[in-house]
Amino acid sequence: MIGYFLSKIFSHFLLLLTIVSMVSLGLGTFTNLHAVAGITQLQEAPGQMVYQSRQTLKDQHGNSWQAIAFKRIPPNGKTSFDLRLVGFPGMVDIDRSKPLLLTNSLGGTSTADDTSSFIFTDLSTPEPSVGQYNLQPILSQLQVEIPLMLILSASNGEEIHLSVPPSFVQEWQTLFSSRE
């Protein structure tokens, strides 16, 4: 009788151990897939590659913005690294005469120049809720462990604040430093 109970307890223990092992391995697999899935690559033209990372950011009003960080490597090898911010159409008109302001929780600030003129085929009618900024000169200065805020100027004088999680900054730096 005691042998029967011990074998039952042992079999339940093995079952529990198997389940815990499978869950642990499964979570590790999904975590790695998520990290790898953040960066995509595409060939824009012969000899020109683009590597990009896409995330969603929220502004102070709860509106979603798409943040697309991308590294472009043209045939001449002169790499560029930009951040494109896309708001919902009709939500805001970005003031492209002002740079993107990056601030951290310690009071450090940097600016990124507007490069939106490179993305619109018709400069007389640029998309008002899309802005693009050159992050290359300042990306290595951003500290992953310090929270970051992006501040966009709107045409109506309002400032749009976008909170950037440290994992996004880390992904941008990984994208920029990769030697593809």
Residue spans of the chain under pLDDT 50: 4-8, 10-37
Query: Is the pTM for the entire model greater than 0.85?
Result: no
pLDDT of residue 43: 86
Strands 80-86 and 39-45: unpaired
Count of CB atoms within 10 A of residue 122's CB? 7
pLDDT of residue 123: 63
Residue 28, φ and ψ in degrees, nearest 5: -60, -40
Q: Is 15 helix (H, G, I), strand (E, B) or coil?
A: helix
Same domain, 50 and 31: no
> Which structural domain, as residue segments, surrounds residue 2?
1-37
Same domain, 139 and 61: yes
CA 12 to chain centre: 44
Bridge partners (DSSP) listed for residue 58: 64
Same domain, 45 and 112: yes
pLDDT of residue 9: 53
Same domain, 18 and 75: no
